[in-house]
Amino acid sequence: MNRLIIGFGMFVGSTIGSAVPLLWGGSLLSLTSIALSMIGGGIGIWLGYRLCRSLGVL
């Protein structure tokens, strides 16, 4: 269960992070998009881990 929550957080975070450059007219394949995807994925993993700890799954 905990791997599912953390994986979902990573997926959502990286998807949102890679879509941010579209707000200012950038591309999904730009370096900014890739960098923000990595940052968003890391934040998603962290939030998923925190959610698992608060639910008592870990």
Answer yes or no: are the C-beta atoms of 41 and 14 closer than 8 Å.
Answer: yes
pLDDT averaged over 10-residue windows placed end to end, the chain, 58 residues: 92 95 90 96 96 87
Global confidence as pTM: 0.86
pLDDT of 35: 96
Residue 18 burial (CB < 10 Å; 0-12/13-18/19+)? buried
